[in-house]
A and B are shown apart, each in its own frame.
Chain A
């Protein structure tokens, strides 16, 4: 019996100059399998991205999708408006195409969630 090979996609991770991360200003190209999360692939490759819960809940890891496609089958708190606005949660995001994301968007995302009266932004921002 043969196993169907899983697809692998190139995920480009852009860390802005302004990010408070050791890798600020760097860009990484990673091979990420369709069953693998972007965060896990990055950390396995030695690219340390921020994250807390790793269950698609706390939003510490949030990034902007620049191009490509991801799915979040196991995210515990990911809303339609997040997807429509181009936010992704790398801790649970799995690629479905060659993809580029910009990480370190947590402040921007808390404002976005607060503006939509969604947690945790609505409890961390004065609206």
Chain B
């Protein structure tokens, strides 16, 4: 009979449930898992607020069914990005803020508000609301997301393949979104043909890279 030996090695004692090897291996590779986790909360805060704000932006593309459809794809995919990464925050021993106002305040991208003032009755003053202005808000929101997830790719490359995989999947879709809104804004504002090179998703918000169920049923 083999001599009984302890299992495990490194900074986590055998049987210790107060630490996670899944976090310690990241630390061993030079990335602070707590700092990474906080950046992830900021980044998915932006995905969540964008999902909310895109609802309003889509609504106000009245009569522009093709623009609404593309905006809906981006809206649902931003929610998919939030859903994809939430479990990772908890794996890294974090949590979502209890107060949604805190979550929105720390979002790493600006609020993507409908670009029009409110009227005297508390509704949107749509008298001068311009489709091109809405498309520009959408475009700049996507650009912020591209920058944010690129930074997370940089931070996790060669240190945390699990988060890196999530971030690069999200980045794929954010780059799709930027291409869509460049095409639409170019046509709407400048009457220029500036193709995205894409066609619409198969289903609204298909999220071909990030919908978490196909590769992570437990999430």
- Mark each residue of chain B from 98 to 115: 1 if its CB lies under 8 Å from any CB of chain A, else 0: 000111011011100000
Bound-complex Cα distance A52 to B153 (A): 12
- Mark each residue of chain A from 97 to 127: 1 if its CB lies under 8 Å from any CB of chain B, else 0: 0000000000000000000000110111000
Q: Is the CB of B105 within 8 A of A55?
A: no
From 38 to 94 in chain A, residues with beta carbon under 8 angstroms from any chain B beta carbon are 50-55, 57-58, 60, 76-77
Could you say which residues of chain A place their CB within 8 Å of the CB of B42?
52, 58, 120
Residue of B nearest to A122 (CB): B105
Q: Is the CB of A76 within 8 A of B151?
A: no
Could you say which residues of chain B place their CB within 8 Å of the CB of A60?
108, 151
Q: Is the CB of A58 within 8 A of B97?
A: no
Q: Is the CB of A53 within 8 A of B108?
A: yes
Bound-complex Cα distance A123 to B102 (A): 5
* A119-B106 contact given A53-B144, A53-B147, A58-B42, CB 8 Å threshold: yes
Among A52, A77, A119, A120, chain B packs the most CB atoms within 10 A around the CB of: A52
Bound-complex Cα distance A14 to B101 (A): 35
Q: Is the CB of B108 within 8 A of A52?
A: yes
CB of B188 closer than 8 Å to a CB of A = no
Bound-complex Cα distance A76 to B105 (A): 13
A-B contact pairs, 26 of them (CB 8 A): A51-B147, A52-B42, A52-B43, A52-B147, A52-B148, A52-B151, A53-B108, A53-B144, A53-B148, A54-B143, A54-B144, A55-B109, A55-B110, A55-B140, A55-B144, A57-B110, A57-B144, A58-B108, A58-B148, A77-B110, A120-B42, A123-B97, A123-B101, A123-B102, A123-B105, A124-B106
